[in-house]
Amino acid sequence: MPVTSIGEYKFEPLDKRENFHGNILIYINWEKHLMFCAPVCVPLSPDMPFGALVSELLPNVYSAHPEFEKIDWDAVEWTLDHKPISPEPDQTLEDLGAHHKSLFRFTTPGLNGIGGVAS
């Protein structure tokens, strides 16, 4: 089916950092767990300690998954914007290099979704 351009599309984005009262949008994805079909997006303070993200935020987002309680947090592999990181609990999101619309991905070795099929 042919596509016809409607011309130049100019607009003021509504998800600019200035619109989030000092917070930044952070995307988080649990790899191989497609019960959550896309990364979640949450507004967080850049001063939030990484440990709080793991202990307070992630349970609220992912605890409905039956494998969540089995996560060995010491073995989790993290990336930030497609680069491997080794975060410490007291590092802030900003210390880690997170910025507005950054993407954290975490992989849980040995856990591959319900029935091992990435769901």
Q: Does 102 reside within a domain?
A: yes
Q: Does 51 reside within a domain?
A: yes
Distances (CA, A) of 23 to 37, 56, 63, 103: 24, 17, 24, 15
Q: Does 76 reside within a domain?
A: yes
Q: What is the pLDDT of residue 9?
A: 81
- Block residue for tokens 């619309």: 101
Q: Does 10 reside within a domain?
A: no
Q: Does 15 reside within a domain?
A: no
Quote the domain boundaries for residue 34: 20-116
Q: Does 3 reside within a domain?
A: no
Number of domains in the chain: 1
Q: Does 92 reside within a domain?
A: yes
Q: Does 13 reside within a domain?
A: no
Query: How many whole angstroms from its chain centre is CA 66?
Result: 19
- Domain holding 28: CATH number? 3.10.20.560
Q: What is the pLDDT of residue 82?
A: 97
Query: How many whole angstroms from its chain centre is CA 67?
Result: 18
pLDDT tens track of the chain, all 119 residues?
A: 788 888 888 888 899 999 999 999 999 999 999 999 999 999 999 999 999 999 999 999 999 999 999 999 999 999 999 999 999 999 999 999 999 999 999 999 999 999 889 88
Q: What is the pLDDT of residue 118?
A: 87
